[in-house]
Amino acid sequence: MANGGLLDFEQMEVWQDTQDLAVDVYGDFRACRDFTFVDQIKRAAVSISNNIAEGAERSTKPDFARFLDIAKGSTGEVRSMYHLAERLKFVEESTANQRRGQCKSISRQLGGFAKHLRKK
């Protein structure tokens, strides 16, 4: 265990969920020709798991919580972009709904985890 008794980030369910989301984002926009949009949503999706990893490697729980807040912000960005992607007809409504649901779940996990870290 790293970081004061916490799991290594690879063992954290929320990190695994964010990796799954990033893979889904890459798949959803594989054929999209709007490279600016695709680059932005991919960067936002990848930054979620990377911020969890970076925070987990920090030396204090408050530092980790701050990175979880940043990851949570990126989750909101991905969710927002799926609204736009649906309106632009880049993805089907069902896909957008599923991804927004994943984002909401991840956001709840991140918020709860950050709150837990701040209590200690």
Whole-prediction pTM: 0.93
Check whether 120 has a pLDDT greater than 90. no
Q: What is the pLDDT of residues 50-99, one digit of tens each?
A: 999 999 999 899 999 999 999 999 999 999 999 999 999 999 999 999 99
Chain CA centroid to CA 107, Å: 8
9-28 as b/e: b if 16+ CB within 10 A: beebebbebbbebbeebeeb
Where exactly are the structural domains of the chain?
9-119
**Yes or no: domain 9-119 corresponds to CATH 3.40.50.620:** no
CA distance 1 to 27: 33
